[in-house]
Amino acid sequence: MKNLTIWVILGLTLTFLIGPFIIIIFAGASAGEALAFPPDGLSLKWYFKVFTIESFRDSFLLSMFLAIFGTLTALLLGIPAAYALNRYDLPGNETIRTIVAAPIIVPGIIVGLALLRYLVIPLDFTVTLALFMAHTALVLPYAVRVVSSSLNNLRADMEEAAVLLGCTRMQAFMKVVLPNIRGGVLAAFILGFVTSFNQVPVSLFLSGPGVRTLPIDMLAYMEITYDPSVAALSALLAFMSLAIVFIAERLLGFSRYV
């Protein structure tokens, strides 16, 4: 009886988690002209069509750019921040941690609106720059947290040993700390990449002529054209995310860090 309950709960969970994914795969594989489930016959034409839609190509490149460089920048800022928060007993340590976590807590739509209202409009920041800042800020909390947790497992005396063998503090960091938190840094990169790539609310306000992230572009596309190409693209993106996480798990036991 107890076993049965567990199986039912497990089944429902999987249905809700994986169900939408399966629906999207099939909706995209429709032979018909309108988005529908069950699909109107099966074909791969919409999967190929996706690659011919020019605005998708541009917004894909923008999203890739934001995800890669936004995450790299977040790591560049986040690794030293995590290191300082871990190794030094700074005054206001807790406050700093809270502020760093703010972009996760504050609703994205407010972050987007604020950037638009206070940077893009009055200061003439380009939308791309505002998007870049927004994505960096959004990824930063993950970078700090994941790197922090791998720094926690690294004893401080290792750096002292390196210093006594002749390293400067900077050399000790580069030669001893960094190689030992490599897994955490990679995990933070992947988590950041996926978060940035899939992120909608912040980017909602930050779009201009020809400048849209892929998820926003897909929303816009659907308002005009209700065909299965969006489902096909969604399925492709889901596969991409899955592949990244799968490879990461294989290479470095990603789930340890998240």
Partner 1 sequence: MSDKYVRLSDLTLSYGKTVAVPNLNLDVVEGELIALLGPSGCGKTTTMRAIAGLLTPTSGAIEIDGRDVTRLAANKRGIGLVFQSYALFPHLSAFENVAFGLRLKNMADAEVRSRTEAGMATVGLAGFEARKPAEMSGGQQQRVALARSLVMEPKVLLLDEPLSNLDARLRLEMRTELQRVQKDTGVTMVFVTHDQSEALALADRIVLMKDGKIEQLGTPSQLYAEPATAFAAEFMGFENIFRVEGENLVSNSGQLRLGFAASSSMLAWRPGGVHVGQGPFSGRVVASSFAGGHREYVFDCQLGEIKADAPIETAEVPLGQSIAFDLPQSTARPLLA
Q: Which residues bind partner 1 (CB under 8 A)?
A: 155, 157-158, 160-168, 171, 175-176, 179-180
SS3 211: strand
d(CA 132, CA 138): 10
Rank residues 179 and 209 by Cβ distance to partner 1 and give the closer one.
Answer: 179
Bond preceding residue 38 cis, omega within 30 of 0: yes
Contacts of 118 (CB under 8 A, 6+ apart): none
- Least Cβ distance, residue 248 to partner 1 (angstroms): 19
Question: 121 vs 161, which CB is nearer to partner 1?
Answer: 161
Q: For residue 30, what are the CA distances in angstroms to 145, 157, 212, 239?
A: 42, 60, 27, 18
Provide, rounded to whole angstroms, the least separation between the CB of residue 83 and partner 1. Answer: 17
Quote the least distance from Cβ 184 to partner 1, whole Å: 13
Locus of tokens 């809700």? 16
Query: Do you find a cis peptide bond into 107, omega within 30 degrees of 0?
Result: no
Q: Which is nearer to partner 1, 113 or 167 (CB)?
A: 167
* Residue number, 91 or 122, with CB nearest to partner 1: 91
Q: How far is the CB of 93 from partner 1 (least distance, A)?
A: 16
